[in-house]
Amino acid sequence: KAGVTQTPRYLIKTRGQQVTLSCSPISGHRSVSWYQQTPGQGLQFLFEYFSETQRNKGNFPGRFSGRQFSNSRSEMNVSTLELGDSALYLCASSLEGRTGELFFGEGSRLTVL
Amino acid sequence: DQQVKQNSPSLSVQEGRISILNCDYTNSMFDYFLWYKKYPAEGPTFLISISSIKDKNEDGRFTVFLNKSAKHLSLHIVPSQPGDSAVYFCGGRDSGSARQLTFGSGTQLTVLP
């Protein structure tokens, strides 16, 4: 069974640009969550989607947005990039009804110059 | 407001000895706790979990202890192995409808040969 796939794995942008990251969940998983990992801040929750609906949102500015498609694939977008947005963005999928186990992808490493 | 705190950013242990990683939480609505392990350039992987109705869960070399009155949990690794060197994240699952999983900032464990 294929794991969670995230693309691109690495990307470099400049301030003010926007970026779109993609996530394909494990087949059969309908819940997709996004996390930002920065040194010292751990894994900070961005948002969660289930059946194309945003079910939960973390404490991030409106520049961060996402969506989920009917095939459960998800994208997140960051507009007007800032230097502080440089981070590893992790996508995780899970089965609904499970006790909370998330399956993470390898992440997309974003560098903002 | 950090709902999950891992106050030790790093921990070094000799191979064969016990590693104890600690985690404190503030949210009384957490009903499930999970530990994840993360190697560099990989996504976090699920390690072990515990329900809030239990005080201990064991899986091989890994044991998680939960003290609800103190809002504290710990992960014990015995015996520690060099391959256990990784960042460990503690997470709490909210029992509300959103079921959000909130993580701490992580502890870098280094097991010295």
Judge whether A55 is closer than 8 Å to chain B, CB to CB.
Answer: yes
Instruction: Work out the mean pLDDT of chain B and round it to a whole number.
Output: 93
Beta strand pairing call for A10-13 and A64-68:
unpaired
Residue A98 has pLDDT above 60, yes or no: no
The residues in A 60-89 lying below 8 A from B, measured between CB atoms, are none
Residues in chain A: 113
The mean per-residue pLDDT over the stretch A83-91 comes to: 96
Does A66 have pLDDT greater than 90?
yes
Confidence grade of residue B1 (pLDDT, cut at 50, 70, 90): low
- According to the model, what pLDDT value does residue B41 have? 82
- Is the Cβ of A102 closer than 8 Å to some Cβ of chain B? yes
Q: With CB atoms and an 8 Å threshold, state whether A106 touches B43.
A: yes
Confidence check: pLDDT of A69 > 60: yes
Question: Mean of the pLDDT values across residues B52-80?
Answer: 97
CB contact under 8 A, A42 and B100: no
Q: Which residues of A touch B43 (CB under 8 A)?
A: 4, 90, 92, 104-107
In this complex, which of A33, A35, A42 lies closest to B105 when CB atoms are compared? A42
Q: What is the mean pLDDT of residues B1-27?
A: 94
Residue B98: the pLDDT is 66
How many angstroms separate the CA atoms of B89 and B100, rounded? 15
Q: How confident is the model at residue A97 (pLDDT cuts 50, 70, 90)?
A: low
Partnered with residue B88 across adjacent β-strands are B37, B107
CB contact under 8 Å between B105 and A107, yes or no, is no
Q: Does B27 touch chain A (CB under 8 A)?
A: no
Q: Name the pLDDT band for A109 (thresholds 50, 70, 90).
A: very high
Q: What pLDDT is attached to residue A15?
A: 97
Banded model confidence at residue B101, pLDDT cuts 50, 70, 90: confident
pLDDT at position A42, please?
85
- Cβ of residue B103 closer than 8 Å to a chain A Cβ: yes
CA distance B35 to chain A (A): 10
The beta-carbon neighbor of B43 closest among A40, A55, A90 is A90
Over residues A17-54, the pLDDT tens digits come to: 999 999 999 999 999 999 999 877 789 999 999 989 99
CB atoms A99 and B100 under 8 Å: no
Q: Do B98 and A48 touch (CB under 8 A)?
A: yes
Decide if pLDDT at A56 tops 80.
yes
